[in-house]
Structure 1
Amino acid sequence: MKIYIKLIVAMSLWGGTFISGRVLSQDFHPFSIAFWRFAIASAFLSAVLFRSPKGFPALDKYQLGKVALLGLSGVFAYNYFFFSGLSTVEAGKASVIIAINPTITAFIASFFMGEGVSIKKALGVISALAGALTVITKGKLLQMDMSEFALGEGFLLCAVICWVAYTLLGKIALKKLSALEATTLACISGTVMLAPFAFYYDGIELMGRADLNQWWHLFYLGSLGTGLGFIWFYQGIQKIGASNAASFINFVPVAGVTIGALALGEKVDESLIVGAAFVLVGINLVNWKKRAA
């Protein structure tokens, strides 16, 4: 029972990252927010990895290249688009759009692993995409035109593409690295990549200009939303298996919408509820076979 509580809390922490990202993106550049988020996360995860039985792994040049690609796709690029999107898109809405990540990833991964695409998986992808488009178009899916796609939503869809790339690259990296090792090293490499861009904009200025509330949101993003959230999710995978733990990801958009409404007063309209439902159905259809096995 304890691990299930940890997984629910971890998903809530991930849902909360949309709120913190929304707050910070109103005042600071995406590169600066991302840098401080992962500087904090790198310190947190490095401390955990140092205390693990294996400690920090020794990497050869090929592994270094893979880690760099993980940092580029999942930390540098993803977070630039993530925070850029949150500068104009409400947190709850963003959490539903980003929630199509596992569905698109599983669909594309099926081609790389030669599993083929089942009818359920195809329907799951269609359902998830329909849900995201319902949210983007505010329920006017059948009357959709290109003008409905604002820049913020476009950034978030780019973030989805980056996360798919990160996840697929991670499947290769994890053949020789544990999830904790790969994530920690990706955070560190991504932080190094973010540094010059962050300091070019307002990364240094942020240190003096951010108030206590904004520093809390940065701390939350780095240590709780990224560090602790991952650790507990990783523990869940170890205890109940990857497929069962992954099913808890359904809770992320629910948490994002709920916290966004409570903390930021965001409106929860019918299109957001219907879109979220389509996305959740899509996630479950895509992962149906894995959970039933």
Structure 2
Amino acid sequence: MRAKDQTIDAATWWRLIVLSILWGGSFFFAGLALRELPPLVIVCARVVLGALMLVPVLLWSGLSLPRCLRGWAPFAMMGLLNNVLPMSLIVYGQTTISSGLASVLNATTPLFTVLVLAMSGDEPLSRRRLAGVVCGAAGVAVLQAPALLGGDAAPGVLLCLGAALSYGLSGLWAKRRMTGVPPLVAANGQLLASSIVMLAFACIVEQPWTLPMPSPATWLALLGLGSLSTAIGYILFFQIIERSGPSNVMLVTLLVPITAILLGRSVLGEGVTPHQIAGAAIIATALAIIDGRLVERISHIRIR
């Protein structure tokens, strides 16, 4: 993978926009599925369906997966950090908070990514990026003021923030260990590894065979999670990493809340509070500071 961490071309921006719609929809689909299914079953269905849809594409493309157990180690860790942990934490979080709020909390992922890459020494923490991190932390505090002061939403908030940290760690792992791996192979490998883990967890913890048969709406939600948000989404995810690096791909989470909140409000009937809007605006400002391009353009206009 060639990491062009400081530039995003027009084709990559289009991929980011499409990916934000697909991943924004994942919060909506999970919110629908949670009405009838427990969290681990939903995550399991998501990664298994995603893997089943991508394997034929991989075979048709002529690419191949590792043939030895050692070759699967990078995919297993990527699946843990990018699928198993964050997806499970987010869906569990959505049992106490709305899909829109979960997506806004997910927008802190670039903040964690910047910190993780800086602490690992992979990318320096500039003053601009440090200011963005501080601004983002303030946005989260404003966003979750009622929960932080004590409320039923506090556990869901912490779970979703833990998911954002896991995504940040996955960006570091992708940069270090997935370099040179074709996007389709990377997406297949992590989903197949995740499927094995999630099948075991779901069967042990939630015993899906004892649950009532889901309604058609739930099946459609699971299909949307597996095909759109996962199979297609992760191909785009690894394409963006290949073209522009892990820091830039995480900026997609700035766009995700727009889709998730609109879907949650229009279909699930979820409300949006003033402090959530204010917090989201501060987080958006933080991400713009971290990205740097908007700040540079404004400075250039002032100089002229």
TM-score (norm 1): 0.86
2:25–2:259 Cα contact (<8 Å) kept = yes
Moved segments of 4+, more than 6 Å: 289-292
Mean alpha-carbon deviation: is it higher for 214-223 or for 250-259?
Answer: 250-259
Q: Which runs of 5+ in 2 are unaligned?
A: 1-9, 297-304
Query: Which range moved further: 20-29 or 79-88?
Result: 20-29
Aligned residue type for 2:290: V
**Aligned-partner residue type, residue 64 of structure 2:** F
Aligned to 1:278: 282
1:237 Cα deviation from its structure 2 partner: 6.1
Residue 241 of structure 1 deviates from its aligned partner by 4.1
CA offset at residue 215 of structure 1?
0.4
1:190 aligns with 2:164: no
Which segment drifts farther, 70-79 or 281-290? 281-290
Taking the aligned partners of 1:70 and 1:127, their CA distance within structure 2 comes to 29
Residue deviations 1:198-217 (CA, integer Å, cap 9, x gap):
123142345x5111000011
Deviation track 1:49-91 (CA, whole Å, cap 9, x = no partner) reads 22324x1133554432222212222222222211100111101
Q: Is the 8 A contact 2:116 2:169 kept in 1?
A: no
1:118-152 deviations in Å (ceiling 9; x for gaps): 111111111222222222224x9xxx546686211
- Do residues 93 (structure 1) and 101 (structure 2) align? yes
Which whole-Å CA distance do the structure 2 matches of 1:237 and 1:64 have between them?
A: 20
The CA distance in 1 between the partners of 2:252 and 2:103, in whole Å, is: 15
State whether structure 2 residue 264 is matched by structure 1 residue 255: no
Q: 1:65-214 to 2 correspondence within 5 Å?
A: 65-138=73-146, 145=149, 150-200=154-204, 201-206=206-211, 209-214=213-218
Judge which range, 60-69 or 18-27, deviates more.
60-69
In structure 2, the partner of 1:14 is 23
Distance 1:235 1:72 in 2: 20
Return the alpha-carbon distance in structure 1 between the equivalents of residues 248 and 125 of structure 2.
21
Tell me if the contact between 1:31 and 1:197 (Cα under 8 Å) persists in the aligned partners: yes
Structure 2 counterpart of 1:220? 224
Tell me the CA shift for residue 95 of structure 1: 0.4
Contact kept, 8 Å, 2:65 with 2:189, in 1: the verdict is no
Conserved? CA contact 1:63–1:173, under 8 Å = no
Q: Is the 8 A contact 2:74 2:177 kept in 1?
A: yes
Q: Which moved more, 1:34-43 or 1:255-264?
A: 255-264
- How big is the alpha-carbon RMSD for the aligned residues of Structure 1 and Structure 2? 2.9
Give a deviation string over 1:8-39, Cα, whole Å, max 9, x none. Answer: 33311210111111222233222111111100
The number of aligned residues is 286
TM-score of the pair, normalised by structure 2: 0.83
- Please tell me whether the aligned partners of residues 107 and 286 of structure 1 are also in contact (alpha carbons under 8 angstroms): no
- Aligned pair in 2 of structure 1 residues 162, 235: CA closer, same or farther (>3 Å)? closer
What is the one-letter code of the residue matched to 2:292?
W
Residues 234 and 114 of structure 1: is their aligned pair in 2 closer, same or farther, counting only changes over 3 Å?
A: closer
CA distance in structure 2 between the partners assigned to 1:145 and 1:262 by the alignment: 29
List per-residue Cα deviations over 1:156-176 (Å, max 9, x = no partner): 122122222222222222124
The answer (yes or no) to whether the contact 1:26–1:87 under 8 Å persists in 2 is no
Given the superposition, is the C-alpha separation of residues 152 and 26 from structure 1 closer, same or farther in structure 2, using an over 3 Å criterion? farther
Q: Give identity over the alignment, percent.
A: 24
